[in-house]
Structure 1
C-alpha cells in the first residue's frame, strides 16, 4: 500500500467537525478559550478530567489551573505538532475512568528528555513517510512515553475513550517500533471518533470470536482489533525494508503473528461490518483488512 493510499484510507469526512464541536463544548464548560485543532481536542479532555479531579479534591488552585490553561501554555512540552509526556510510573493515576493507569497533564508536568523527543520525531517521520502522518497528527497528538524496553521484552500500549487523542505506550530505542505502536493506538482513537461522528451505535449483545484475545468479543471490540492491527501491518510491511537486522526480525515476527490472526478474523469481518450503518466506515475497515489478507 502506497503512502497516498494509506492517507486516503484514513481520511474521513465528519471527524474534524466532531472534534471541533466537542472541543468547543468542553471549553465552554471550563470557561476556556481553546482553539479547534486536533491537539486542542486532546488537551481539552486532559483539562476536563483534571478539573474534575481538582474539584473532588477541593483544590481551588489546581482547579483554576485546569480552567485557565490553553494549549499554547504547554508549548514547552511540544515535539513538533505533538505534546510529549514522559511521567514517572509513580505519577500514573488510577480511578473509575479507566481500568488501566493513565496520566493527566498538570502544572508540574515537565518536558520529556531530549533523547525521548528525538525518538518521537524519528517515529513520526517514519509514520509520515509511509502514509500515517495524518493519523498520528489527528489521533495521537498527545504521546505519553512510559517504560523503555528491549526488543525481547513485552511492550504495552493503550488509549482511553475518556482521553481521545492521547496514546500511552512503552517504547524501545527503535523509532519504527514506536511508530507501529503509535499507529495502533491512534487507530483506536480514529475509530472511536469515526463512530461518534457518524452516530454509530453498535450492538452489545452480539459477539464474534477474536483471535487476538482468543475469546468472543462484542462487535465494537472485534472491529477495533481488526482496524488497529490492520493499520500496523500495512505500516510494518513498508517500514521493515529500511531497518537493521534486529528490528527487521522483530517486525517480521509481528507480521507472521498477524497473518495467523487475520486468517481467522477475516471469517467474521463481513458479519461485524453488517452492524455498521455508515458506509464510509464499513468501506475503510473492510479495505484495510482486505489489504492485509490479500495484499495484491
Structure 2
C-alpha cells in the first residue's frame, strides 16, 4: 500500500457536505444566517450550546445574542481564517456535555493577546508547510489556548464531540509543539466527522488494548488513538530536521515513545478496522498507521 500525502489522507468525500448540512440545520434552529465554511461549522456549535445555556438560565438577552450572532460578528477574535481564544481558567465551564472543562464564545469574549496570536500563526504556518494546513483549516478553525507550560511540564489538550472544529490545548513557547497538538486534536475532529458522514456505528462492547492509555478501550477510542497519534508522528518526522534548540530532544523523545506504542498497538488495527463499515474511512486510518510503522 503506497503512502498518501497528509492532504490526501484527510481529503475525504462527504465530510464537507456533512459540515454544511449540520451548519444549515443549526442556523435554522437559531434563526440566523450562518455561512457554509468550516469556521461557520465550528462557531455554529458554540452558538447552539450557548443558546441552550442561556435558555436554561432564562437569560433573554444572552439567548438573543447567541441567536443573532454569526462569524461576521466575531472578526475581532480572528487570526486569518481562524478564531483564537485565550480564556481565563475561571471562564471555563463544566456541564453535562463534557467531563472536561470547555469554553463557549460569548458577548464578553476578548481577543487573544498578540503573543498568543503570533504563536498560533507560527504553528499553523509550520503545519501548512508540512502538509497539514487543510486539516487544521477544516477541523481546528477555533483554537482555545489554555495554560502556558514549560517543555518539562505535562501538556493537556482535548476536543469535544459537541464542539467539533474547536481545539482546547495547553501550549509552550514553541510553535512546533503547538502544531503537533493542534494536529492531534484536529485529527480527532476529522475522524468524528468522517464516521458521522459515512454513517459508521461502532460497537461499545468490543475492546482493544491501547498502549497510549495502558488499558483496554472500545473500538472508537482505540481507532481515535491510532489515527490521531499517527498524524502527529507524520508531522514531527517532517518538521524534526528544521527545528533547533531545546525543543529538539523533546520532539525526539516523543517520536521514540510513539514508535514503541505503535509497535504494539498497530497489531490489533486490522481487527479494529473490521468494525468500520465505510471502506474509505478504513483505508485512510490504515494508510496513516502503515506509514508510521513501515515508512518508505
* TM-score with structure 1 setting the length: 0.98
Secondary structure of the corresponding residue to residue 5 of structure 2: helix
Per the alignment, residue 90 of structure 2 pairs with 90
Distance 1:250 1:81 in 2: 30
Distance 2:122 2:66 in 1: 31
Q: What's the offset of the Cα at 1:277?
A: 1.2
Per the alignment, residue 165 of structure 1 pairs with 165
Distance 1:154 1:265 in 2: 23
Q: How does 1:38-117 map to 2 (within 5 A)?
A: 38-117=38-117
- State whether residues 144 and 169 of structure 1, in contact with CA within 8 Å, keep that contact through their aligned partners in structure 2: yes
Per the alignment, residue 255 of structure 1 pairs with 255
1:192 corresponds to 2:195:
no
Distance 2:239 2:145 in 1: 21
- State whether residues 5 and 131 of structure 1, in contact with CA within 8 Å, keep that contact through their aligned partners in structure 2: yes
Distance 1:194 1:206 in 2: 20
- State whether residues 140 and 165 of structure 1, in contact with CA within 8 Å, keep that contact through their aligned partners in structure 2: yes
- State whether residues 4 and 131 of structure 1, in contact with CA within 8 Å, keep that contact through their aligned partners in structure 2: no
Distance 1:86 1:4 in 2: 35
CA offsets per residue over residues 27-69 of structure 1, 9 Å max, x none?
1000011001000000000000000000000000000000000
Secondary structure of the corresponding residue to residue 118 of structure 2: helix
1:210 corresponds to 2:210:
yes
Per the alignment, residue 220 of structure 2 pairs with 220
Distance 1:239 1:152 in 2: 20
- State whether residues 240 and 247 of structure 1, in contact with CA within 8 Å, keep that contact through their aligned partners in structure 2: no
Distance 1:107 1:128 in 2: 31
Per the alignment, residue 178 of structure 1 pairs with 178
Q: What's the offset of the Cα at 1:70?
A: 0.4
Secondary structure of the corresponding residue to residue 170 of structure 2: strand
Per the alignment, residue 148 of structure 2 pairs with 148
- State whether residues 165 and 189 of structure 2, in contact with CA within 8 Å, keep that contact through their aligned partners in structure 1: yes
Q: What's the offset of the Cα at 1:4?
A: 7.6
Secondary structure of the corresponding residue to residue 146 of structure 2: strand
In angstroms, what is the RMSD of aligned CA positions? 0.9
Q: What's the offset of the Cα at 1:18?
A: 0.1
Per the alignment, residue 266 of structure 1 pairs with 266
Residue ranges of structure 2 left out of the alignment (5+ in a row): none
Secondary structure of the corresponding residue to residue 117 of structure 2: helix
Residue ranges of structure 1 left out of the alignment (5+ in a row): none
Secondary structure of the corresponding residue to residue 110 of structure 2: coil
Distance 2:218 2:102 in 1: 24
Distance 1:241 1:89 in 2: 35
User: Runs of at least 4 residues of structure 1 off by over 6 A?
Assistant: none
Q: What's the offset of the Cα at 1:240?
A: 1.2
Q: What's the offset of the Cα at 1:245?
A: 2.8
CA offsets per residue over residues 192-224 of structure 1, 9 Å max, x none?
000000000011110001001111100000000
